[in-house]
Structure 1
Amino acid sequence: MSSFQFSSENEPEEIDSVTLTDNEGRTLECYVENALEAEDGTYILLMPVDIPVVILAWDGRSEEEDEDTNVVLLEDKVEIQEIFPDARAVLAELDLALSFTAFTLTVKGELPPIEDDGILNLELDTEEQPLDSEELQFLAGFYHKNQRYSVYTPLAPLLFLAKYDLLGQISLVSPDDQQMQPILEELLFDDTE
């Protein structure tokens, strides 16, 4: 679910940003990176205004000892809310302001320079995409109730595919849908020109 303010003076290709809203009322400001007109509406490629981050929970002795370490990407909203104050505090020490926004956690501020020893190659084994790999930059680590957590930001931009329909409503569209693949490819290809 998303909300969007539309007036007849704004054509979809002239819109600079939109606000997505999730089912719990949290919002996420996004830039419109690209738009593609279609018969059933306009498809838009969105990128968050603020910097997306993820929180990882570590189970093991150290991040370097792969055989003794398991990492879990936190997605449970209840667990995120429980550790949120600690995560916000350690990021504030880096002059980064953490927000619990729609669809992702985000930070405002200037990221520290990328260092090779701070890069984590995370392999996610999901039902949709077995062994999908993502590179993450380390930002901060902390403990909560004897559990070790780390905050990372993805090195690749987080993009959302949305459809602006003929009634003026914006809704997120799954990029994994086979019918959306040609549209997504065209939006991505046009964006690189």
Structure 2
Amino acid sequence: MSSEPPSQSSSEIPADVPTVLVHDSRGRQLLCFLEQLIPLDGHDYVLLTPVDTPVCLFRLDGDEDPELIDTIDATEPILSVADVVLQEHDLTLVRSAVTLTVSGELDEPEPDELDDDEDADDDSETYELLVSFLVDDLEYGLYIPLDPFFVVARMNGDGALLVEGEEFERVQPRIEAELEEREGDD
């Protein structure tokens, strides 16, 4: 009998996939997989995907559509409650650059559960509920985006700086054009 360790968890990094540590303007970090390298204006820009699972926080209000909370302070009490709920599932909420992420072993959704449902609204097609919880009698949910979550950064030594604001507005269309041209060459 073999005494091999159990299979890798989703938070372990495969050895053959390059990773980059991204920093934002507030000093927060996010470890990402390197997807594409795009040279522009003498800088190396990179298209990245987070190693841990990105999540979005929504306020849930009965029959109303979930409301995305896109700016939240890292010390917000809502996130403390989310921490406790996630720990019950052996998951950890990480307050990283760009987005909140969850590290730990996540169950993969069943492919037949993701089939197009004509009655589903737009949010349910692009997000999957991970956990929901109550804070001060209000319901919140952490959702996993089903569409790929990309991060644009500029290489800086061994790491990268998140591309934000005016720089993002300037380079984003050029990066998209470069990626479309690369896809056309395949």
- What TM-score do the two structures reach when normalised by structure 1? 0.67
2:82 to 63, 78, 87: 87
Q: How big is the shift at 1:112?
A: 2.3
Alignment correspondent of 1:37: 39
Letter in 2 for 1:122: D
Q: Taking structure 1 as reference, are residues 44 and 94 closer, same or farther at Cα in structure 2, changes over 3 Å only?
A: same
Alignment correspondent of 1:6: none
Q: Taking structure 1 as reference, are residues 171 and 59 closer, same or farther at Cα in structure 2, changes over 3 Å only?
A: closer
RMSD (CA atoms): 3.3
Alignment correspondent of 2:13: none
Alignment correspondent of 2:3: none
Q: How big is the shift at 1:188?
A: 6.3
1:172 and 2:163 matched:
yes
Letter in 2 for 1:19: L
Q: How do residues 11-30 of structure 1 correspond to structure 2 at under 5 angstroms?
A: 16-30=18-32
Task: Give the Cα separation in 1 of the matches to 2:170 and 2:51.
Answer: 28
What are the ranges of 5 or more consecutive residues in structure 2 without an aligned counterpart? Answer: 1-16, 115-119
Alignment correspondent of 2:8: none
Q: How big is the shift at 1:34?
A: 1.0
Q: How big is the shift at 1:190?
A: 4.4
Letter in 1 for 2:176: L
Task: Find runs of 4+ consecutive structure 1 residues off by over 6 angstroms.
Answer: none
Q: How big is the shift at 1:155?
A: 0.7
Task: Give the Cα separation in 2 of the matches to 1:20 and 1:87.
Answer: 24
Alignment correspondent of 1:151: 142
1:183 and 2:175 matched:
yes
Task: Give the Cα separation in 2 of the matches to 1:93 and 1:120.
Answer: 29
Alignment correspondent of 2:57: 55
Letter in 1 for 2:29: T
Comparing 145-154 and 26-35, the one that deviates more: 26-35
Comparing 157-166 and 81-90, the one that deviates more: 157-166
Q: Taking structure 1 as reference, are residues 18 and 113 closer, same or farther at Cα in structure 2, changes over 3 Å only?
A: closer
Task: Give the Cα separation in 2 of the matches to 1:26 and 1:179.
Answer: 22
1:105 to 80, 100, 109: 100
What percent of counterpart residues are identical?
30
CA contact (8 A) 2:21 2:160 kept: no
Task: Give the Cα separation in 2 of the matches to 1:189 and 1:35.
Answer: 14
Alignment correspondent of 1:122: 123
Letter in 2 for 1:30: C
What are the ranges of 5 or more consecutive residues in structure 1 without an aligned counterpart? Answer: 1-14, 124-133
Count of residue correspondences: 160
